[in-house]
Structure formats: structure tokens, C-alpha cells
Amino acid sequence: MRVPVALALMGAILGSRALLPAPRSPIFSVVILPADLRGLMSALWVENNRHWDELADQNTLTQLLGTGKPTQREYLGCLVGDVAGDTLFVRRLVHAENLKQLQFAVAGDCDGVEQLVGTFHTHPYRADAAGRAVKERGLSAMDLKTFAATSDMVTMVMWDLDSLDVATKAGDGSVRHPVPLAVR
């Protein structure tokens, strides 16, 4: 009892949560996404990627420097759900508060969302050196690193109308990627 209390006091004094043990994720092996929610995710991807075909005169360097025309944006949503038995059920998608959308990054806040289980975001196309649209397929190394540092149980990314990639947390908090997703 003294060790957890001492860790909590040190964390409060130093203003750091790093001294406290990471919360354990519930143990689940299956992620279920309702078909209508999958459809909503596709619609959000289309909306935020609608100018992908205006990249002919844009290259990645121009876009990274912010000197090109903005053609599409990443989107961030908060996943609401619950765990029952060995299954994580994603029930709803809520728009993140304080959403800041850029071409290659997105930020927002899901802290006040009841029954939050994780996040969903999009990867819009980007331009290659010849101005052709390029897809970033799946969760990036940065996405996985960001996810590892959160208490979220699941993260999802969509990079095309019909393509989702999913990562979850194991019971010990380690990241499992890729993981299967069932759409029902």
C-alpha cells in the first residue's frame, strides 16, 4: 500500500503521470464495427479527401512546406463503445472537439466523450514528385507511437474508401498491430 501511495504523491508533486503504472486494457480479441458506422467513416473520408484529384501541379515538398494549395485534410473522430466478453464493440463515432485539420496531421480532443474506446482518423492522398496521388496505406509509425502513449483501447485509420487498418492494446497495454476487424 505504501508504494502506490508514494508513487501517487510523487506524481502529484512532480506533475507527472509517468511515475504511475499504465492502466491495463480490458482483454479482448475481436473488434466489431457496425456496417452503418463503417459507411459513415467512408463518407467522412470522401468529404475530407474530395480534392485529391487537384494534385497534378502539387508535389509533396510543396505541400509539406505549406506553400501549395490545400487540397484535402485529415479527420479525427472519437470512437464510443464497450467491451463484452472477448469483444470490443464500437457503437458510435463522435466528432473530436477543437478539431484542427491539416493535410498531413490532425489534432482534436476526445477527453469529454463518455464510453470512449479510441479514435478514428483519415489519411488523405498526397502527391508524389510527379504530382500523382499517393496513398499512405495503414497506420503510420507515428500513428502507432501516438496510440501507444494513450489510454485508448483501439485506433483506426482509413486511407481509401474501402480500406481500414486497426491497432488495439493487449491486457498489458502493449500495442497489437495489425488486428482483424469484423464489420456487421
In the prediction, which pLDDT does 16 show?
Answer: 35
| Those residues with Cβ within 8 angstroms of residue 181's Cβ, 6 or more apart along the chain or in another chain | 31, 32, 33, 156, 164, 166
Express each pLDDT in 121-133 by its tens digit.
998 777 676 767 7
In the prediction, which pLDDT does 48 show?
Answer: 86
Domain ranges of the chain: 25-183
> Which pTM does this prediction carry?
0.79
Mean pLDDT lowest among 34-43, 45-54, 140-149: 45-54
Largest CA distance in the chain: 63
CATH code, residues 25-183: 3.40.140.10
- pLDDT category at 6 given cuts 50, 70, 90 is very low
Place of cell 478514428: 120
Distance in angstroms (rounded) separating the CA atoms of residues 84 and 1: 31
